[in-house]
Chains A and B, each alone.
Chain A
Amino acid sequence: MANEPYTEGPIHTTVPVVGPDLTFVSVTDKISSLVLKRKTPLWWFIGFAVSFLLVQLLLLTITHLVFTGIGIWGNNVPIGWAFDIINFVWWIGIGHAGTLISAILLLLRQQWRTSINRFAEAMTLFAVASAGLFPLLHAGRPWLLYWMFPYPNTMGIWPQFRSPLMWDVFAISTYGTVSALFWFIGLIPDFATLRDRARSKPFQIIYGMLAMGWRGSARHWHRYEMAYLLLAGLATPLVLSVHTIVSLDFAAGVIPGWHATIFPPYFVAGAIYAGFAMVLVLTIPLRKFYGLEDFITMRHIENMAKVMLATGLIVAYGYIMEAFFGWYSGNIYERFMIYNRMTGPYKWFYWSLILCNVLAPQIIWFKRFRRNLVVLFVLSIVVSIGMWLERFVIIVTSLHRDFLPSSWGMYSPTVWDFSMFLGTIGLFFALLFLFIRFLPIISIFEMRTILPEAELEED
């Protein structure tokens, strides 16, 4: 991963959004050939094989879990949430960057989103799929999942709508549904392109069915653009609500370290932070391996790094406020919680979190670091780890020593906790590998709209 040539001046004046030589033909052919023509590269098989093995580990874990019960995990009485909720919140947070890129940046008319939105939306979907597994299995009897939804039943009972956990059910299922719809709607014109470019009959038929007869009619485009814009407008408050509600799972409880009003904005910023880090982790190797430097330019990379820095600072503010609230509350339990977090048995997690999430990203201030792909790649991994540690700290250190010393305890994960987590990472990457093999990873029709060729010459 060589560094791009170093340029003076602000990036939006020196680096174009897309390479200068791109045309309708080259954009269409390049992106569709990744799916239709190009020989599947060796790294794809290796990557998919590794991910697929991890998926088998996930299936093994789930099978063992369903037959034995959640006692195979390290969860215990003071720490009932542990890995499940840590991983759930971590995955959901990662998903948020996809919606941010596809919806919020669309409303803000940020053209640079076009090269990365398809990919980021896919990441959202797969992250939500990985996230959803955790509360589902944590409930202990996943085959009774439908009890969470309000449906008329012979037991004569209904869900308790005043509980944030119930809000979560609606928020996550709505989020998953809307993300999938948004993604699929965005793909329809590109399915039509693949249908018309495919040479083999099976691909023509499959992409033809997915394109649903799309023919690029102007009337269709008008309604399509309207639908896309409205969906973006709906997804924007939705994505903010999802992590707000996730944070209310904590904030509505009375546990010291959870019961704080800062939680919703702090969680949303953390989600976007983790999500952009994951987009960078995925984008940097992908653009290298597929030679997409003309499509995903340094401007995209640098903009994402800047968003990461901005949200990272908000998260840092959240950490400071948590400590401040603990002290200023004058409440002995709150004060003890912060003291215990910083100096107790889990202090290494807390200080690693500060190192990963607060100190490390400060190097983005320097142009030479934020334009260095290797540095950014490593930093993004560090931030992803940091965000996982954040959820560990919030959940485990708050629960393990609450009000009564007689109910204190310690938590350590078992091998099945790790196998479940690794398994969902495998699921996420296996789905991503399938996605980059069979679907256009960059939105072809949206790329066409930002090319110089698309500018109308008015008489």
Chain B
Amino acid sequence: MADEKDKPRTVEEDGKDDTDISASPRLPASMSPNRHASPSLHQTSPRPGVTVGPLYGVMAEFDNPSNLVAAARRTYEAGYRKINGYSPYPIEELWEAIGFHHTRLPIIVLVGGIIGGLGGFLMQYYLSVFDYPLNVGGKPFNSWPAFIPITFETTILCAALAAVFGMLALNKLPQPYHPVFNAPNFKLATRDHFFLVIEANDPRYEHDEVVEFLKSLEPKEVTDVEV
């Protein structure tokens, strides 16, 4: 739990993107038919030392998961903290490698379940005992064993809603625009390619150094990612 607070805050987490969306006339990259018209996308090779416009970070592209995880570990060891990996499927070692160990989600789900359980039971208790007492087959007004099935269902319902909406909220989804979608090969992140990004707001970020460092990790390609 604490780790999520302690971990380096990235652009996606602190919501800077929201201002970018309003400032940018661009359509969401994921949907935009014009994304190929964007000048930054014609660049296919890294441009070390050339900085055009504000950068989100530098991205390294890999063609297999082992290289990505190894590179992520070395990047973390080198002291970079505002880093993120992108992969077509969940890789446990990857989020461990970038130092993201814990999520608040389980506690959110627990709270959801407790609210659902208490709410479900207390609703039945209040309605059956105080608001609308009804003699059913001589059972006591608070016939709690008969209230358990509904209590159980509302517990599950609220916990499940907390799991889904909690996950979406922590992930800041839906989020139509994100800078990484500008990267030329990023479409393959949902197919068979793997990406590592060192973000520009990392305290140790020094553009040329970062490019050199990422190149030393033997990626397929290193590119700048514009905001």
Contact = CB atoms under 8 A, between A and B. Distances in A.
Contacts of B149: 164, 167, 170-171, 241, 245, 248
A215 B128 contact: no
Interface string B174-201: 1111101100001111111000000000
Given A150-B123, A218-B95, A227-B166, A456 B66 contact: yes
A214 to B, nearest CB: 7
B190 A459 contact: no
Interface residues of B, number: 75
A419 interface: no
A75 B89 CA distance: 52
Contacts of A185: 164, 167
Contacts of B65: 453-454, 456
Given A157-B132, A219-B100, A234 B160 contact: yes
A189 B90 CA distance: 10
Contacts of B70: 459
Contacts, number: 218
A162, A214, A238 — which one has the most chain B CB atoms within 10 A of its CB?
A162
Nearest to A225: B90
Interface in A171-188: 171, 174, 177-178, 181-182, 185
A109 interface: no
Contact of A161 (B127, B159, B192): B127
Interface in A279-333: none
A171 to B, nearest CB: 5
A196 B106 contact: no
A459 B134 CA distance: 70
Q: How large is the interface on A (under 10, 10 to 19, 20 to 34, 35 or more residues)?
A: 35 or more
B142 to A, nearest CB: 11
Nearest to A201: B33
A349 B154 CA distance: 38
B105 A216 contact: no
Contact of B180 (A212, A215, A235): A215
A38 interface: no
Interface stretch (A268-276, A407-415, A443-451): A443-451
B191 A230 contact: no
B223 interface: no
Interface stretch (B36-44, B47-55, B79-87, B208-216): B79-87
Interface of B: 10, 12, 28, 30-31, 33, 64-66, 69-70, 72, 84-95, 98, 100, 103, 105-106, 109, 123-124, 127-128, 131-132, 134, 136-137, 139, 143, 146-147, 149-150, 152-154, 156-157, 159-161, 163-164, 166-168, 170-171, 173-178, 180-181, 186-192
Interface of A: 23-25, 28, 150, 156-158, 160-162, 164, 166-167, 170-171, 174, 177-178, 181-182, 185, 189, 192-193, 195-197, 201, 204-205, 208-209, 211-227, 230-231, 234-235, 237-238, 241, 245, 248, 445-446, 448-449, 453-454, 456-459
Closest 8 CB pairs of A and B: A212-B174, A24-B192, A227-B167, A208-B31, A213-B175, A218-B85, A162-B146, A448-B89
5 contacts: A23-B192, A157-B132, A216-B190, A219-B98, A230-B163
